[in-house]
Amino acid sequence: MSLRVLPLLLVTISGLALLPGCTNQSPDQIRQKTAEETAAIKRDTKAVAQGVKDGLSSKRSIDLNKGSKDDLISLPGIDAHRADRIIAERPYASPHQLVSRHVLSEDEYHQIQDRIVVAR
């Protein structure tokens, strides 16, 4: 070990040893506060996880005959050009007409099929 590092290491270790003496709280108070903070972190983590889950599962359906260009662009794999093509081919009797009219490929259609509808 280098002679330069040794004094730094000793200062760090002695500082860590003094930390418990820097508080006016008893060990029981420290444990209680730690338990409260841990519970808060768990609660907040669960809330964040639930929010992410809700955000991922809130895939609303878009009506091909009524959806705006921005609605269509929000679908996976649909850019402005494809959204314009979808709008230009309206009206649709079924969502699969996107494929039969050669607006989308079968693979592109499978990416969005669970998020599109045709209202009647």
Architecture in CATH for domain 62-117:
Orthogonal Bundle (1.10)
* Cβ neighbours for 9, distance < 8 A, ≥ 6 positions apart: 1
Q: Where are the domains of the chain?
A: 62-117
Note the Cα 43 to chain centre separation in Å.
Answer: 18
Inter-CA distances, 59 with 1, 14, 26, Å: 59, 56, 51
Type and span of the H or E element at 70: helix 69-73
Hey, what are 107's tokens? 């693979």
Q: What is the pTM of this model?
A: 0.52
From first to last of its 120 residues, what are the pLDDT tens digits of the chain? 445 555 555 556 555 555 555 568 889 999 999 999 998 888 888 887 777 776 666 567 899 999 999 999 989 999 999 999 999 999 999 999 999 999 999 999 999 999 999 987
